[in-house]
Amino acid sequence: MIEKTVLDNGVRILTESIPGTYSATVGFWVENGSRHETPTENGISHFIEHMLFKGTLRHGALTIAKKIDAMGGALNAFTSQEYSCYLAKVESRKLPQAIDLLSDVLLNALFDLDDIEKERRVILQEIHGLADNSDELVHDQFNRAYWQGHGLGQPVIGTAQTVSALTREQLLSFVADRLHATNLLICVAGQVHHAQVVDRLCGFFSALPAGKKPERTVPKPSYRQVVSLFKELEQVHLCLGTPAPSQSSPERFTAHVLNAVLGGSMSSRLFQILREQHGLAYAIYSYLNSHSDCGAQVIYAGISPSDLNVAMTLILHELRQLRTFGISREELNFAIDKLSGQFLLSLENTEHRMTRLARNHMFLGYVQSPREVLDSFRRVRLEDVQALARDMFQDEYLHVVMVGKVPKEGYPLVDLTVED
């Protein structure tokens, strides 16, 4: 059973009671991410995520780690383009202690100057590691190119320049501006009692200032471009992307079916053609990079420079095939069964259930029941998939980003046209 309470100041509390589970997961979701940062403060949300676990008025960093370990639980946090999440997974009877610990972390972090400088060095190493890891770097570069000039194109982690310049005053000011009641969503899933969870959270968050949500601008349409970053590598890492439905779009289920057929698994078209039939790639896959108001369908491949032309031709051929002929009934049924099965299996995990509460509430305004999700997949028709493919896979929208031994002036060797 899912229950919701909104405190007088606007803090939203959602719980899902799951009888028979041994664990409970609590997540504190702050609706603020890299898309809400100015270019000069890029990376500040991620920096704050690191700093909240460095000590509070009551607990030092080591004490925080020991407390969660003593519960046999796991403490984690992550930042994305649209939100930050701080979560703990523990056995159900330890949930009150986990709530107390995370609430203290969220509300009473010290932001000690020495800790700030130490963590700054850690994050800079993280940034340098990303630059050295080209199969990850290409996704970052794709986001920059695809959402160029918009906050969604900024790296969540920030840049060496912006992270090096952030001050303690900026961090504290940003926390005060963004960590407030209207921006806070608290979700709990497991063997829990809603009233008890609300009572405990009220003691920490009922006095939190209401505040207001950060402004969000919708990205402008992004048109065809080819971007290359020359690096002395054995492979060329490429991302090819086109527009895709948002997290709240009615077409999102159709998009998941299309992605599953295109490159979402080892049985997908791209994997079978590029890896199994032609031996051109070890890693080849596709994924949906969707946000609250926009999205991208992205294809990734790691290819030898000498095979790049052939690989690109094969990828574009498959996009043309999807536009022209759609998918078969067998592919449709297979994709729906695969996605439905994955969804049902994920419901056995309280961390996933907690995350589903939050993402549904943030992107849809309500929580879809499992039956609604399964029915939505089963309502996808062959003509829906082809119509979406025709909308998405248009020449004017294609974005290609490559990292590796590609010509510094670009890569004009392949006709990117996918029009009929």
Annotated catalytic sites, by residue?
A: 49
DSSP string, 349-416: -HHHHHHHHHHHHHHHSS---HHHHHHHHHT--HHHHHHHHHHH--GGG-EEEEEES--TT--TTS--
Q: Which residues make beta-bridge pairs with 89?
A: 25, 74
Evaluate whether 406 touches 150 at the Cβ level (below 8 Å).
no
Q: Which residues make beta-bridge pairs with 399?
A: 225, 241
For residue 93, count CB atoms less than 10 angstroms from its CB and return exposed for 0-12, middle for 13-18, buried for 19 or more: exposed
Q: What's at 211, amino acid-wise? A: G
Which residue, chain included where needed, has tokens 């159709």?
Answer: 254
Q: What's at 279, amino acid-wise? A: G
Q: What's at 132, amino acid-wise? A: D
Q: Looking at the chain, how many residues does it have?
A: 420
